[in-house]
A = this chain, B = another copy of it.
Amino acid sequence: MPLPGAPSLGSADPVEPVLDLLGVLAYGELSAFERLAADAALAPTLSDRAALDGLAVTEYSHFCRLRDRLTALGADPDAVMGTFADALEEFHDHTAPSDFLEGLVKAVVGDGIAADFYREVARTPAVDPATRQIVLDALAEGDRTAFATTRVRAAVDADPVLAGRLALWARRLVGEALTQAHRVAAEHPGLTTLLGGVGGTAEVSQMFVRIAEAHARRMTALGLES
């Protein structure tokens, strides 16, 4: 995939898995952008609609940085990203929100778990420092889901039945995310070799514990039981 003259990643670095990491992130951001912009139609007010559109625009700026990094590494972004299209579109097809609050919970929970996971992967030794920084920058950007969290929290505090429904919805989102993550890992074994660089099985387990804990904190902030 890398063209002649592409920047070296260092002899110890597996090029293919790093490209895969950038590719799945880039496609994820692009599809998140389009899905959030479509979900905005569910918003009850123009302000809410504009706020969800604003979350979408943030995803697009992340997409641009990740795609540009793929290009800088000599890869063809379309080719790398394309191998993740089916799994990521299937995730979205299985998790189309039926109302505005489901859309907000999806933005917070989905974005959060994906960001935690990719942050862990980016920190593995196999990822070159420049790519790591771009991935971490793309994922940092303050608390862009604060608006969504506040809106969900207010609605849930006023309606316990809603809290139950949205908690179930969040669990379904996590289940679908894991299903698609398994599919991505099976289709791209290189990505799992990146995690192998973390260390032993115990360290991988620790990573999943950290991601689960962060998810539980987000659910608490939303006023939902995880």
Chain A residues within 8 Å of B, Cβ to Cβ? 27, 30, 33-34, 37-38, 40-41, 45-47, 49-50, 53-54, 56-57, 60-61, 63-64, 67, 77-78, 81-82, 85
Contacts and interface: CB of A to CB of B under 8 A. Distances in A.
Contacts of A78: 45-47
Residue with the highest number of chain B CB atoms closer than 10 Å, among A40, A60, A63, A81: A60
A58 to B, nearest CB: 10
Contact of A37 (B45, B56, B64, B82): B56
Nearest to A36: B37
B30 A53 contact: yes
Given A57-B57, A57-B61, 9 more contacts: A30-B46, A30-B50, A33-B37, A33-B53, A34-B38, A37-B37, A45-B78, A46-B82, A46-B85
B37 A49 contact: no
Nearest to A30: B50
Contact of A34 (B41, B63, B64): B41
Nearest to A63: B50
Contacts of A57: 57, 60-61
